[in-house]
Amino acid sequence: MVDTQQIQIQKTAKSRLPEVDFASLEFGQTFSDHMLVADYVNGEWQAPSIIPFGDFSLSPANPALHYGQAIFEGLKAYKNESGEISVFRPQANLRRMNLSADRLCMPAYPEETFLEGLKELLRLDAAWIPTTSGSSLYIRPYMFATGAYLGVKPADSYRFAIITCPVNAYYSTPLRVKVEETFARSVEGGFGFAKAAGNYAGSLYPAKKALEEGYHQLLWTDGKTHEYFEESGTMNLMFVINDTLITPALSTSILSGVTRDTIIQLAKDRGIKVEERKVSVAEVMEAAQNGTLQEAFGCGTAAFISHIVTIGFRGTDFQLPSIESRQYSPQLAKDLDAIRSGAVADTHGWIVKI
Ligand code: COI
């Protein structure tokens, strides 16, 4: 465990905050003044430091650049009207990060050190946390291999870092998505459950093709048969059919979303019937045609709850019921907002106050 006294803090000489236009934030393009950095050397994590946001210096033979030992997380901090800062489920994100680390032969990062470092960083950059509705401070912890060698083996040294950025909604419009039956994001036995950089790299080409066809995102199907839905590029996937919230069951090829888990719990709290199981493309497309598909949405930290209005399937666009007619996802979004803002009690212990 790292004593917070040990966190070296070097403050920026000049804050960039006055240059920021909070009304027009592009996701992930505006970074707060400071970042946290910790190195893993000689088999142990060194005490973290908080330093001004800036470039890293890397060897041209850095193994993460060559073989992709790189993982990340996404979580959010909020500031309420009285200026109180809270973070949503940070322990869940660190747990998942350490599962990703294990799969990619990287060292786990200690929870206590993570929470203490994150709190220090947020205290220092508190003025960067937006307060307008729908906005937040996106927190990006990540880890990558360091060192210099080209042999294919797990690295001996790593860097853990946290950068943060004020953000608005990731998607500014309701989504048009396409069922992907040619390319695969992952397969059972692969590392789709890990939040690993490589999973995102492999998704770019199919996503680019979908964008050229007028869709915002893909609905990935399983890599073996393409008969079952898995997740969407930046989000987990949920459907409401016959008043039941249905979502693909987790597997080694699906990211175990913290927002997914939260939504399932909130739905159960409301007495909504929830099914986590294999969800076939045939079932959903049939429901879209016979009118029993009431809602479809993606959920994730960045995406929050993003309504799907159109599903493209084998060249035909299926229009889903209007967002105004939807009952479940808007209610679940409100429930989640109420917990995050402190308007209702956090009975699940999801909030960490700073
Ligand atoms: C998140 O929701 O935090 C994500 O990581 C999605 C995306 C921006 C990669």
Nearest to 290 by CA among 326, 227, 242: 242
Contact 336/350 with Cβ under 8 angstroms? no
The ranges of the chain annotated as CATH 3.30.470.10 are 4-168
Q: Which atom of ligand 1 is nearest to the CA of 259?
A: 2
Nearest CA to ligand 1 atom 3: 74
Looking at residue 5, its pLDDT comes to: 56
Contact 309/248 with Cβ under 8 angstroms? no
Architecture of domain 4-168: 2-Layer Sandwich (3.30)
Query: Structure tokens of 58?
Result: 């890397």
Looking at residue 341, its pLDDT comes to: 87
Q: Which residues of 8-28 are buried (b: 16+ CB within 10 A; e: fewer)?
A: eeeebeebeeeebeeeebebe
Contact 123/142 with Cβ under 8 angstroms? no
DSSP 234: T
Looking at residue 1, its pLDDT comes to: 47
Asked if residue 58 has pLDDT above 80, the reply is yes
Contact 246/264 with Cβ under 8 angstroms? no
What does the chain come to in residues? 354
SS3 103: helix
Asked if residue 26 has pLDDT above 60, the reply is yes
Nearest CA to ligand 1 atom 9: 234
Architecture of domain 175-341: Alpha-Beta Barrel (3.20)
136 CA → ligand 1 middle, Å: 14
Nearest to 36 by CA among 135, 145, 115, 147: 115
Beta carbon of 301 within 6 Å of any ligand 1 atom: yes
Beta carbon of 306 within 6 Å of any ligand 1 atom: no
Q: Give the integer Cα–Cα distance in Å for 283 and 55.
A: 48
Please list the residues that pair with 351 across neighbouring strands: 88
For the segment 250-254, the average pLDDT, to the nearest whole number, is 97
For the segment 223-228, the average pLDDT, to the nearest whole number, is 97
Contact 155/63 with Cβ under 8 angstroms? yes
195 CA → ligand 1 middle, Å: 9
Residue 200 burial (C-beta neighbours within 10 Å; 0-12, 13-18, 19+): middle
For the segment 284-300, the average pLDDT, to the nearest whole number, is 97
Asked if residue 16 has pLDDT above 70, the reply is yes
Q: Give the integer Cα–Cα distance in Å for 164 and 304.
A: 17
Beta carbon of 100 within 6 Å of any ligand 1 atom: no
SS3 324: helix
142 CA → ligand 1 middle, Å: 12
Range in 39-48, 208-217, 334-343 the model is least confident about: 334-343
The ranges of the chain annotated as CATH 3.20.10.10 are 175-341
